[in-house]
Structure 1
């Protein structure tokens, strides 16, 4: 259901993520996809929740400047945070394996920052989900990485894939946030926009 207040806007998702596109479609929203080509760099002094909000705003602003006045841009960025550091997207097989070994038998946070902006308004917010992994064997990790190639996913995994079925023993917070978009919060912000 499209909130009444949004009917005057052309919704734009500033993301090439198929998971974000799927989740936004499941909300019943009509939107176009415009991908920003910004470099995903953030100042090193930013903290856990500020990093993905900063990156989401960077993406939204880059896309927004090339669109008509009636456009409403939604952008998001997801990071995995463990031991006071960001685990981004793995660059190759070895990095993906190392990340999953690091996450095995422990807890980490998944933070998604979202930026929603029109020609006259701009909102940023985030959602945090705690995720606990069971112990993963090297064989399980290698099977997952070789079969699913999670190189486009923060932390080197997708909770909706095989590794989530066998490895995630508990979460606190939004499941969909771990997939890359806290749809419940996005919907609430869109209703209030």
Structure 2
């Protein structure tokens, strides 16, 4: 398997601490750039279409803001949502919304979907990765305790699977664990290698 070249200038278009931690697992150095964009889902687009569009728009915005820094770089961007009963759950805005989301998810199975985009040398790659997560039932005290002691407000679906208390209620995972945290690392690395091969052909 071809490794990512050590001299590749890699930029993560995100300030998410979880995505930075995950990308660091590749052992490759990278920098981060970010900017705020409208991440509202459009009703006339499907879930995956929305995620890929938002990820792409994040990368495009970074390219416009930092043309010199991104010109010869590989740019990585992503957007994640939780899907339950065909309803996309984004980041909760307050305690009650976080509690409502956890109440929906407990004792059931939901999907975590991440759309990611890669920009390099005038070429683009965009795809979505889905992981299914099953939670054990949680009591109201469990849920309120988690919301109080952790930080669910910057996490899709109102939870982080890596958080200590939530790990006690994960019954099963089908798919990539890292995708649930925020970046489907194996899919991203595979896509990077393919994009580099195509660009250098």
Shared fold per TM-score greater than 0.5: yes
Q: Does the alignment pair 1:34 with 2:36?
A: no
Note the alpha carbon deviations across 1:1-42, whole angstroms, 9 max, x for none: 9513x73x4211011110100010111111111012111123
For structure 2, the residue ranges without an aligned partner over 5 or more in a row are 196-201
**Match of 2:198?**
none
SS at structure 1 position matched to 2:127: strand
**Match of 1:106?**
108
Normalised to the residue count of structure 2, the TM-score between the two structures is 0.90
For structure 1, the residue ranges without an aligned partner over 5 or more in a row are none
CA shift at 1:119, angstroms?
A: 4.4
Superposed, which structure 2 residues align to 1:1-193 within 5 Å? Answer: 3-4=4-5, 7=7, 9-65=8-64, 66-68=66-68, 69-193=71-195
CA shift at 1:168, angstroms?
A: 1.1
Number of aligned positions between the proteins: 191
Q: Distance in 1 between matches of 2:52 and 2:169?
A: 28
Contact 2:146 / 2:166 at 8 angstroms: preserved in 1?
no
Q: Describe the shift of the 1:119–1:3 C-alpha distance in structure 2 as closer, same or farther (beyond 3 A).
A: closer
Normalised to the residue count of structure 1, the TM-score between the two structures is 0.94
Q: Distance in 2 between matches of 1:134 and 1:11?
A: 39
Note the alpha carbon deviations across 1:101-147, whole angstroms, 9 max, x for none: 01011111000000000240111011100011111100000000000
